[in-house]
Amino acid sequence: MHDDSFGNDPKTLWQNQPAEVSKMTLKLIRMKARELHAKTRRELFGSIAVALAAIVFSGLGLARGEDLAMQLVFVIAIVWALTGQYFLHSGMWSSTLPPDAALSAGIEFCRHELERRRRIFRRVLWLSAGPLLLAIGAFTMPIVAAGIRLDRGLSGKTIPFLALLGLWLVALLYFRSQGRRELEREIIELNDVEK
Amino acid sequence: MGGNESIPTREAGQDDLYNEVSDQYGSALERLARAYEANSERRRDLIQEIHFQLWRSFQRYDARCSLRTWVYRVGHNVATSHVLRERRILSRLVSLEDLEQLPDAANPLQAEDRGGDLERLSRLIQQLKPIDRQVIVSYLEDMDAAAIGEITGLSPANVATRIHRIKNILARRFQQGGHHAR
């Protein structure tokens, strides 16, 4: 155990704290670069999974061969999911820093990062979760409608599924809006810092 | 640590420049990472990330600012990005102004803290919002107001106000144990 009592002042304490990590080598740096690429790929796959789910639901809906209007909705969901992925990944979904990070002073970079994250929040909701919700909605609506039409109500199997779906939707919207509000508050506070 | 070190030319290789900076600022970057991450494992990752981004940034180094400013900007920006990724943490962070107004007894971290002075100082810094962390870390690294302004982008008056607050907070928090913050 080292002795970290003040002795004199916080600056001395801070500057004389014990070293923790062994020196980084260029070999380690290159390894880190590979890890970062792998991480970005994982994030990409995570995001693609949502689009794939939307496409699967839409595909199932199309295969079921409901009326033309419903089939059109499924086609819209597929197109929406595919174009959404294109826009999501066109240079904005990266775990790396922007290359000019060092040219930005702290406050400028901070604002840029907060605004980038707010944009990602908005876009992910509309471009990724949006088509999935449309596909699920279109897929489940005929089941609900059939139950009502035949005056059987909803079956015991459908109710838990719909309840879970509803809960997931409410939680998704709640956490997304809370996150966005938090980021907006941070941006306002950051603007106040400069006044 | 001075700000008047020789500035390497752009011709210097990216690897050579990185090696030079790593030797000169390696310890300072470790301290910087401590200001942003309490968990030792995650801190190790953060330090590696800072080194990686620093190495990467030297592809674009053009001596527009001093090497020290460049290194600290990259370090703080990477670490800030690390903090902003953790939304749950972000919502609990406070400004220097909040911390100054907060009575010591009302500060749970302070009340629960049983660690040494370095641990207490680190925890205090880790409660702050990123921009205030940049100021306090730069102050503790003995930088003057102009250098802090260059790194953070804050005006000299703004930096001066924050340093004044930092001195008050450090004096109040650390004098209680019989120590004196200068």
Mean pLDDT (whole number) for A104-127: 78
Nearest by CB: B74 against A10, A13, A101:
A101
Sorted by where each starts, the structural domains of chain B and their CATH numbers stand as: 11-88 (1.10.1740.10), 93-182 (1.10.10)
Q: pLDDT > 70: what percent of chain B?
A: 81
Euclidean distance between the first and the last CA atom of chain B, given in angstroms as a whole number: 19
Q: Give the pLDDT band (50/70/90) at residue A25.
A: confident
Q: B9 or A70: whose pLDDT is higher?
A: A70
- What is the per-residue pLDDT for B147? 92
Across the range B41-54, mean pLDDT stands at 88
Please check whether residue A99 is in contact with residue B60, taking contact to mean a CB–CB distance below 8 angstroms.
Answer: yes
Q: Which residue has the higher pLDDT, B63 or B10?
A: B63
Residue A111 covered by a domain: yes
Domain assignment of residue A122, yes or no: yes
Q: What is the pLDDT of residues B14-47, one digit of tens each?
A: 788 888 888 899 999 999 999 999 888 889 888 9
Q: What is the pLDDT of residue B10?
A: 47
pLDDT value of residue B11: 42
Residue of A135 and A1 predicted with greater confidence: A135
Chain B touched by A192 (CB under 8 Å): no
With 70 as the cut, is the pLDDT of residue A171 above it? yes
In this structure, what token pair is assigned to residue B154? 């804050």
Residues of chain A numbered 97-116 and touching chain B (CB < 8 Å): 97, 99-110, 113-114
- pLDDT > 70 in chain A, percent: 74
**Which of A21, A95, A119 to mutate: most B Cβ within 10 Å?**
A21
CB contact under 8 A, B131 and A107: yes
Q: Give me the pLDDT at residue A99, please.
A: 55
How far, in Å, CA of B90 to CA of A182, rounded?
A: 8
Q: Which residue has the higher pLDDT, A195 or B20?
A: B20
DSSP letter string, chain B: --S-PPPPPTTS-HHHHHHHHHHHHHHHHHHHHHHH--SHHHHHHHHHHHHHHHHHHTTS--SSS-HHHHHHHHHHHHHHHHHHH-HHHHTT-B-HHHHHHS-GGG-HHHHH--S-HHHHHHHHHHTB-HHHHHHHHHHHTT--HHHHHHHH---HHHHHHHHHHHHHHHHHHHHTTT----
Mean pLDDT score across all residues of chain B: 80
Alpha-carbon distance A82 to A52, whole Å? Answer: 9
Q: Which of A183, A113, A33 is nearest to B79 (CA)?
A: A113
User: In this structure, is residue A63 part of a structural domain?
Assistant: yes
Asked if the structure places residue A13 within a domain, the reply is no
Mean residue pLDDT across chain A: 75
Q: What is the pLDDT of residue B176?
A: 55
Contact call for A189 and B57, based on CB within 8 A: no
- Residues A24, B52, B124, B155: what is their CA dihedral angle, to the nearest 10 degrees? 130
Question: Given a cut of 90, is residue A138 above it in pLDDT?
Answer: no
Band (pLDDT 50/70/90 cuts) for residue A96 is low
Q: How confident is the model at residue B103 (pLDDT cuts 50, 70, 90)?
A: low
Of B18, B73, B87, the CB nearest to A179: B87
Any domain includes A62: yes
Distance from the A72 Cα atom to the nearest Cα atom in chain B, whole angstroms: 38
Contact residues on chain A for B126, CB-CB shorter than 8 A: none
Least confident of A65-74, A81-90, A154-163, B128-137: A154-163
pLDDT at position B33 is 93
- Residue A17 carries which DSSP code? P
- Report yes or no on A27 lying in a domain: no
Query: CB–CB of A189 and B129 under 8 A?
Result: yes
Phi first, then psi: give them for residue B3, nearest 5 degrees.
-100, 5
Backbone φ and ψ of A23, nearest 5°: -60, 140
**pLDDT band (50, 70, 90) for residue A87:** confident
Q: How far is A74 from chain B (nearest CA, A)?
A: 34
pLDDT value of position B138 = 95
**Greater model confidence, B59 or B111:** B59
Cα distance between residue B125 and residue B83, in whole Å:
13
| Distant-in-sequence, close-in-space partners of A59: CB < 8 Å, separation ≥ 6 | A74, A78
Domain count, chain A: 1
Q: Domain limits at A105? A: 47-193
Among chain A residues, CA nearest to B86: A179
pLDDT in tens, B80-100: 888 887 766 777 888 888 888
